[in-house]
Amino acid sequence: MSWQYGLIKDMKKPECWIISSEFGVVMADKYPKAKHHYLVLPLADIPSVFYLDRCHLPLLNELYLLARKVVQVAAKGVPWEDFQVGFHAEPSLQRLHLHVISKDFVSPRMKTKKHWNCHNTELFVPFDKFCAQLEKDDCFSRLPKSLVENLLSKPLMCNQCDFAPDSLLDLKAHLYYH
């Protein structure tokens, strides 16, 4: 399906790059789920997290350097600690991509419970945890389908306090005032 190749298509256009290196490029997420949302993609043709092994750890560190740099140059004044950096455990688009997203999650594109839960449950694998798992297992395995479904439909919870909203609309209003 062609929509799965949207990132590969757009990363070929230098005008879409915010920064780049000999290892990868950073683009703005086209449908940002927070005030700041970037994607770091390797130039190497790696379809997804499921194609990585230990040998890729040095490349992942290069991608992480790009993540740090894009926050400095594109999100001026926003501290690094205000970002979460990691991979979706069940990505939908082709070409490996590291999410660099600000923890406010204030965005008109945050529209569904799935959008929330794929960034705020175990479906979002922080970079350090991901690398530790890759180091240990020499691969990153797909989560069982039933677990993915459970996590996607998990009750909403604020990422900054104990608030358990009744709806995404409530959560969005709450996040706005954080």
Region binding ligand AMP by CB under 6 A among candidate stretches 28-36, 60-68, 158-166, 167-175? 28-36
Residues 131-160 within binding reach of Zn ion (CB under 5 A): 158, 160
Using the rule CB under 6 A, is 7 a contact of ligand AMP?
Answer: yes
What is the Cα–Cα distance from 83 to 68, expressed in whole angstroms?
10
- The residues facing 142 across adjacent strands are none
H or E segment to which residue 26 belongs: strand 24-28
Identity of the amino acid at 26: V
Active site residue 97: yes
Give me the residue label for tokens 């092994």.
53
Name the minimum Å distance from CB 157 to Zn ion. Answer: 9
Order across the sheet with 17-20: list the strands: 17-20, 24-28, 37-42, 98-102, 83-88, 124-126
Structure tokens at 80: 């690094």
Binds ligand AMP by CB under 6 A, chosen from 27, 40, 66, 71? 27
Structure tokens at 24: 């990868």
Name the minimum Å distance from CB 153 to ligand AMP. Answer: 16
Q: Which is nearer to Zn ion, 62 or 170 (CB)?
A: 170
Using the rule CB under 6 A, is 6 a contact of ligand AMP?
Answer: yes
Region binding ligand AMP by CB under 6 A among candidate stretches 72-80, 84-92, 142-150, 161-169? 84-92
- The residues facing 87 across adjacent strands are 125
What is the Cα–Cα distance from 127 to 87, expressed in whole angstroms?
7
Using the rule CB under 6 A, is 25 a contact of ligand AMP?
Answer: no
Q: Which is nearer to ligand AMP, 2 or 92 (CB)?
A: 92
Q: Which residues bind ligand AMP (CB under 6 A)?
A: 6-7, 10, 27, 29-31, 39, 88, 91-93, 97
